[in-house]
Structure 1
């Protein structure tokens, strides 16, 4: 009789273990929730949101229409990187 029982348990093991694991997981989840209590987490801001806020605070007192032209920005780049293939200015 025992070999028949073990063969049946081995054959139908996935059908038996999944519901048991589901019940154990659900009970453990609710038990942990009960022990810890209701979560009192505040909504955290992401790093991108903090960066955007910081950049907005930096721009509060500046005039957004006064920007450097591309030619002026190129003067601050290293000569070895961008001016390698350019003809020299006269």
Structure 2
């Protein structure tokens, strides 16, 4: 008798578990809505990328965009390559 019962449960499991899961999900959804209360639409928050772009624009607002460092000035402050660290310095 037990093998027949287990075979029937295994065969009809999807037809039984889906409605049960659906009811449990619906009850949980409505219970959470009841506890939290009706949600009010919030103002859209700006993404991190948008906040960064706005900050960069504000930083550039007071500076002259045409005055930039030359390439030679930039190269003086670049770190040495990792592969050249163990080589002796040329004097």
| Structure 2: distance between partners of 1:37 and 1:44 | 22
State the 1:7 CA deviation: 3.5
State the 1:3 CA deviation: 6.4
| Structure 2: distance between partners of 1:38 and 1:73 | 57
Please give the per-residue CA displacement for 1:29-88, whole angstroms capped at 9, x wherever unaligned. 12211220133444222222221111111111111121112222112223x339x5xxx9
Corresponding position of 2:29? 29
The TM-score normalised by the length of structure 2 is 0.68
Corresponding position of 2:62? 61
RMSD value over aligned CA atoms?
Answer: 2.7
Corresponding position of 2:13? 13
Unaligned runs of 5+ in 1: none
1:75 equivalenced with 2:86 (yes/no): no
Aligned pairs, number: 83
Corresponding position of 2:47? 46
Corresponding position of 2:87? none
The TM-score normalised by the length of structure 1 is 0.68
